[in-house]
Chains A and B, each alone.
Chain A
Amino acid sequence: MAQCTYTADLNHQAGGATARNVKGPDIVTKLAALVGEDRVTTDDLERELYAAEIANLPPEVVYVFQVKPDIVVRPSCTEDVVGTVNIARDNRVPITPRGAGTLGLGGSLPSKGGIVMDLSSMNRIMEVDPDGMTATVEAGVTWEEVRRAARSKGLRLGAYPSSALSATVGGWIGGGGVGIGSYKYGPAADQVRWLEVVLPNGHLIEAGFRGVKDNASGYALKNLFVGAEGTLGIVTRATIRLHPRAGDVVPTAYAFKDLKKAAYGIQTLTRSPVTPYNIGFVDGNHLRHLEEMGSPVPSAAGTVVTVALEGHSEEVALCNRETETALGSAGGRRLSEEEADEAWLSRSYEFRVKRLGPGLVPGSVFVPTDRFPEAVDRVYEAISDLGMKAGITGLVADRNTVDLLPYYIVDDRKMLKGLAVMSFMKRLTDISLSLGGRPVGVGMWFAQNLGRVHGEGADVMRAIKRSLDPDNLMNPGKLVEVGTRYDLAVPHTVMNAGLGLMGVLKRTLPPDTEPGETAGPGGMGWRELRAEGDEPEGGKDPDGEGEEGEGG
């Protein structure tokens, strides 16, 4: 266990200038001596690969942001991270921590080059403690691995990001947000009991407590790093809460005429005194996209709501009845068990419709549950206004909050169309803010929104950032500031106006809605996710040879 060595050094000389184009052999040599030759590189190919993350960027981005790192480092332990932070600070080189790069808002890309620190090799599960009901893991472990480790001890991981198959523990903590199971077990912050964090000054601190909760006197230090997108320090280890596992998750599904009807049903369900494990939905557009790809969809459904139940069998039964009443009262038609299984298994595969693009731009905004139907109207209005081929998916984050995840299918091989993707995000942001919600992620692309989202609170956030990272070396150009390639200040109004202009441009283009226009070879079955504790008991028997044996 690392010692807590942190002493706040608020008198540290404020800097601001950051090194660019780190080419000196000196720093690379020092890093190689620290982490090992095979864990640091300046290879051009590798740096190009780390200049990309999940979403396709409009190619013009490279004019504005230096997203290509100068050096990539893969630490193998906390000490490597501390040492790298120290070397970077001594040389005034920015560091961008990175997990699997799946959030898609540029948070894991450098804005001014420097070092990208890929933490995915720090992938040890240190301990799963069935008595204390926690797991302590390194930041690069995927949520799927935590889930499996918990299951192997008869426990359940509460909530996990929908990209759990690749998303790392550190990554989801950095992004904050909500995921599968958040309705019952809370957002990312609630999954975490304790964090080990390397601060920008190279000190190692512990935030939170391994064995008990942290909601008592004192600033919520642990939660300061949740959703900080790696701007305040680098999370190296975490203790995750686990829960009793009564059995497999039981998926149920309901078809509605349209998403707005479903929204009323979901409102009713959130007002019922039961707590399902997860409430997710996909709209009619999404179902049509799946159909276009040759995937099975429930017949005559204009929206499918999937309610997953979990817990004690009596709790599941009660929850099932209440869900049926709530959704039924809004016109929901219960789907078969097979259809419910299918809907549940696809929860980490919703973006398979990218095949129709071949580009796909996802968005994520919170809207209040009581404004959900209104939000649906407004998002459809934007979709039609921008002439987009789009669909809406989402989940209910808690009783008050719906996480709307609309996406936009685009042929990103056509540059003009690719250009317009950002305008979609701006419209979503505007809609969510006007309804009392907020955009979920910030990253590099939406840093200009911080003031709009948090008001004067944004200044407090910037003050926190300055006090912990006076040299502005820890993931600069994200969250609290727009950081461009040449240190050009981009006023928020200009950035937003630019995004608006892209929308105007997009509206001048022909609509994207011709079905199958650019579809690749479709009809290929997507593979099911057998995550979330529902490994088929008997398994498949594709060779059709009768009984399967089960190991002991």
Chain B
Amino acid sequence: MGVDVPFAEELDVCLRCGYCRSVCPTWREVGWESASPRGRAYWLRRIARQTPLDRAMGLRPEVTQRFFEHFYYCTMCGRCAEVCHTAIPLHHVWESCREWLIRTGWGPLEPHVAMLKSLATENNPWGHPANRRTEWMGDRKPAATGDVLWFVGCSESYTQVQASAAGAKLLDAAGISWTTLGNEEWCCGNAESKIGATEHLDERARHNVDAIEATGATRVVSGCPGCTLTLDGIYRDRGMGGDFEVIHMTQLLAELLDEGKLVPVKKPRGKVIWHDPCELGRVGDRIYGAPRRILDAVLGEDNWLEFALNRDDGTCCGGGGAFKGVDDQIAVRIAANKLEEAEGLGASVCVTACPTCRFNLNHGVQTLKRERKEAEEGAFKMRAMDIKELLLRSL
């Protein structure tokens, strides 16, 4: 009688306690129940479990334009799933239901159309030419094979190049021989899986996995948590996993520090606060220790700050889930809220280990600087940077 909604059995279990709503970063900005995890889950269930009474009452619960649009008012930070009273894997529900919405003809949303087009032709979501993927490396020519294969990712290849440049210098300084896929690196597919347009995801996975395996690499490292999550978890979930280990750059760098291959000798300036990227943390492999070991090594234990909510409870930067294109103002406001909290705790440098976080946090920094200037409220003194940049400054 109802509609075949993914995870309908799980949605039945929802208590509607609203724990998810109160921790949802986008709901806090939008305010409407339809833009909250609870609202989405409730309406999906109503669609899935239509009753004779719905018909008698002249109701036909269905996807509406508002429902569809608000479905993408979500950064996929996964905090809803973390606090869920009845342990519904909400993060997976959202991913599958986005696929379902696209499959049933509701999407993609207009801002995602351009991303998908760029992915189809240039293999990156940002509209940059595919053949300029390695430009960030300048004259550097990585070896054909190496100890590790560095899957640089679209963001660090095209936009967050300060982070990748620092990474290259760190690996060189540690005497690691590394290689990349060069222009044969395609977007891992994280953006498509977040949008729900997964039609070409397997094709993408096959290309990347084949290309990586062709190098003979057994260890793949990426500075982008979205890439590590996709190359490892999402590919494997789809039966497309490769015969190699995937780790995040912070894990490799922490290892190099432990082995004494990298030795910090000076303390970078500024009071550092650490932001846990969602896909490095609770949405991914819950990697919380490695970045903190790096911070301890660079700054000394107890010489850097934590947000009041961190690790599994860490709050989102606003940049994820293909949401930034949907409502950039709100995405940046979420970052700004986080940065103002950092300021209140006495920080002047917000360090993270995700290019999407880095991008959106910097956007938040610029916005707050501008707003403070316009309101003549004094300067907003904050920088956002990748942990690779911080570590490089200490050598």
Given A45-B66, A74-B32, A549-B296: A101 and B18 interface contact (C-beta under 8 Å): yes
A52 to B21, CA, bound (A): 14
Q: Is B115 an interface residue (CB 8 A)?
A: no
Which of the listed residues A55, A148, A152, A163 has the most CB atoms from chain B within 10 Å of its own CB? A163
Q: Which of A163, A165, A529, A552 contacts B302 (CB 8 A)?
A: A552
Q: Which of A46, A59, A358, A520 contacts B33 (CB 8 A)?
A: A46
Q: Is A321 an interface residue (CB 8 A)?
A: no
A544 to B288, CA, bound (A): 9
For B28, list chain A residues within 8 Å (CB).
123
Q: Is B15 an interface residue (CB 8 A)?
A: yes
Judging by beta carbons under 8 Å apart, are B61 and A354 in contact?
A: no
Judging by beta carbons under 8 Å apart, are B22 and A142 in contact?
A: yes
Of the 9-residue stretches A180-188, A469-477, A496-504, A535-543, which lies at the interface with chain B? Answer: A535-543
Judging by beta carbons under 8 Å apart, are A46 and B32 in contact?
A: yes
Given A100-B18, A166-B22: A352 and B295 interface contact (C-beta under 8 Å): no
Contacts A413-B49, A530-B313, A547-B289 supplied; 17 other A-B pairs, CB < 8 Å: A45-B34, A48-B59, A49-B42, A74-B31, A74-B32, A101-B16, A166-B19, A351-B85, A355-B87, A526-B85, A527-B84, A527-B312, A543-B289, A547-B296, A549-B296, A550-B306, A551-B274
- How many B residues touch A, CB cutoff 8 Å? 63
Q: Which of B66, B86, B254, B296 contacts A354 (CB 8 A)?
A: B86
For A152, list chain B residues within 8 Å (CB).
308
Q: Is B166 an interface residue (CB 8 A)?
A: no
* A525 and chain B: residue at smallest CB distance: B87
Restricting to B149-167, which residues have a CB under 8 Å from any CB of A?
none
Judging by beta carbons under 8 Å apart, are B17 and A551 in contact?
A: no
Judging by beta carbons under 8 Å apart, are B293 and A121 in contact?
A: no
Judging by beta carbons under 8 Å apart, are B292 and A548 in contact?
A: yes
Which of the listed residues A54, A526, A545 has the most CB atoms from chain B within 10 Å of its own CB? A545
Judging by beta carbons under 8 Å apart, are B289 and A541 in contact?
A: yes
For A24, list chain B residues within 8 Å (CB).
none
A552 to B300, CA, bound (A): 10
Given A542-B288, A545-B251: A120 and B31 interface contact (C-beta under 8 Å): yes
Give me 24 A-to-B residue pairs in the complex whose CB atoms sit less than 8 angstroms apart, sorted by A's number.
A45-B67, A48-B46, A59-B53, A74-B32, A101-B18, A165-B17, A348-B85, A357-B12, A521-B10, A526-B86, A526-B87, A527-B83, A541-B288, A542-B285, A543-B251, A543-B285, A543-B288, A543-B290, A546-B293, A548-B292, A549-B292, A551-B305, A552-B303, A552-B305
Q: Which of B81, B86, B274 contacts A355 (CB 8 A)?
A: B86
Restricting to A320-365, which residues have a CB under 8 Å from any CB of B?
348-349, 351-352, 354-355, 357-358, 360
Q: Which of A524, A542, A544 contacts B87 (CB 8 A)?
A: A524
Q: Is B328 an interface residue (CB 8 A)?
A: no
For A84, list chain B residues within 8 Å (CB).
none
A546 to B293, CA, bound (A): 9
For A548, list chain B residues within 8 Å (CB).
288-289, 292
Restricting to B1-20, which residues have a CB under 8 Å from any CB of A?
9-10, 12-13, 15-19
Judging by beta carbons under 8 Å apart, are B289 and A545 in contact?
A: yes
Judging by beta carbons under 8 Å apart, are B13 and A49 in contact?
A: no
Judging by beta carbons under 8 Å apart, are A520 and B292 in contact?
A: no
Q: Is B336 an interface residue (CB 8 A)?
A: no
A15 to B46, CA, bound (A): 38
Q: Is B311 an interface residue (CB 8 A)?
A: yes
A549 to B288, CA, bound (A): 10
- How many A residues touch B, CB cutoff 8 Å? 64
Q: Which of B53, B286, B304 contacts A543 (CB 8 A)?
A: B286
For B295, list chain A residues within 8 Å (CB).
549
Q: Is B246 an interface residue (CB 8 A)?
A: no
Q: Is B375 an interface residue (CB 8 A)?
A: no
For B302, list chain A residues within 8 Å (CB).
549-552
**B72 smallest CB distance to A (angstroms):** 15
For B367, list chain A residues within 8 Å (CB).
none
Q: Is B39 an interface residue (CB 8 A)?
A: yes
Restricting to A44-74, which residues have a CB under 8 Å from any CB of B?
44-46, 48-50, 52-55, 59-60, 62, 74
A355 to B310, CA, bound (A): 28
* A100 and chain B: residue at smallest CB distance: B18
**B168 smallest CB distance to A (angstroms):** 24
Judging by beta carbons under 8 Å apart, are B16 and A52 in contact?
A: yes
Judging by beta carbons under 8 Å apart, are B22 and A144 in contact?
A: yes
* B57 and chain A: residue at smallest CB distance: A62
A163 to B39, CA, bound (A): 18
**A303 smallest CB distance to B (angstroms):** 22
For B10, list chain A residues within 8 Å (CB).
520-521
Interface code B313-335, partner A: CB below 8 Å = 1, 0 otherwise?
A: 10000000000000000000000
For A283, list chain B residues within 8 Å (CB).
none
| Residues of chain B having any CB pair with chain A under 8 Å | 9-10, 12-13, 15-19, 21-23, 28, 31-34, 39, 42-43, 46, 49, 51, 53, 57, 59, 61, 64, 66-67, 81-87, 89, 251, 254, 273-274, 285-290, 292-293, 295-296, 301-306, 308, 310-313
For A357, list chain B residues within 8 Å (CB).
12-13
Q: Which of B13, B21, B301 contacts A550 (CB 8 A)?
A: B301
For B311, list chain A residues within 8 Å (CB).
539-540
A102 to B22, CA, bound (A): 12
Which of the listed residues B33, B83, B305 has the most CB atoms from chain A within 10 Å of its own CB? B33
A49 to B251, CA, bound (A): 44
Q: Is A43 an interface residue (CB 8 A)?
A: yes
**A534 smallest CB distance to B (angstroms):** 12
* B304 and chain A: residue at smallest CB distance: A551
Judging by beta carbons under 8 Å apart, are A540 and B308 in contact?
A: no
Q: Which of B33, B64, B89, B303 contacts A50 (CB 8 A)?
A: B33
* A56 and chain B: residue at smallest CB distance: B16
* A544 and chain B: residue at smallest CB distance: B289
**A152 smallest CB distance to B (angstroms):** 7
Judging by beta carbons under 8 Å apart, are A46 and B86 in contact?
A: no
A166 to B81, CA, bound (A): 14
For A100, list chain B residues within 8 Å (CB).
18, 21-22
For B306, list chain A residues within 8 Å (CB).
550-551
Judging by beta carbons under 8 Å apart, are A549 and B31 in contact?
A: no
For A74, list chain B residues within 8 Å (CB).
31-32
* A44 and chain B: residue at smallest CB distance: B64
A123 to B84, CA, bound (A): 21
A217 to B376, CA, bound (A): 49
Judging by beta carbons under 8 Å apart, are B251 and A527 in contact?
A: no
Judging by beta carbons under 8 Å apart, are B21 and A166 in contact?
A: yes
A374 to B51, CA, bound (A): 41
For B82, list chain A residues within 8 Å (CB).
527
Judging by beta carbons under 8 Å apart, are A118 and B293 in contact?
A: no
For A526, list chain B residues within 8 Å (CB).
84-87
Judging by beta carbons under 8 Å apart, are A549 and B304 in contact?
A: yes
A55 to B18, CA, bound (A): 12
Q: Is A261 an interface residue (CB 8 A)?
A: no
Given A54-B18, A552-B305: A524 and B33 interface contact (C-beta under 8 Å): no
For B13, list chain A residues within 8 Å (CB).
354-355, 357-358, 520
A484 to B12, CA, bound (A): 28
Given A526-B86, A550-B301, A551-B274: A545 and B290 interface contact (C-beta under 8 Å): yes
* B28 and chain A: residue at smallest CB distance: A123
Interface code A102-119, partner B: CB below 8 Å = 1, 0 otherwise?
A: 100000000000000010
Interface code A281-302, partner B: CB below 8 Å = 1, 0 otherwise?
A: 0000000000000000000000
For A53, list chain B residues within 8 Å (CB).
16
Restricting to A386-431, which residues have a CB under 8 Å from any CB of B?
413, 415
Which of the listed residues B15, B18, B19, B308 has the most CB atoms from chain A within 10 Å of its own CB? B15
Judging by beta carbons under 8 Å apart, are B33 and A49 in contact?
A: yes
Q: Which of B51, B61, B64, B251 contacts A415 (CB 8 A)?
A: B51
A101 to B311, CA, bound (A): 29
Q: Is A18 an interface residue (CB 8 A)?
A: no
Judging by beta carbons under 8 Å apart, are A165 and B16 in contact?
A: no
Given A74-B31, A541-B289: A43 and B66 interface contact (C-beta under 8 Å): yes
Q: Which of B46, B51, B288, B304 contacts A539 (CB 8 A)?
A: B288
Q: Is A41 an interface residue (CB 8 A)?
A: yes
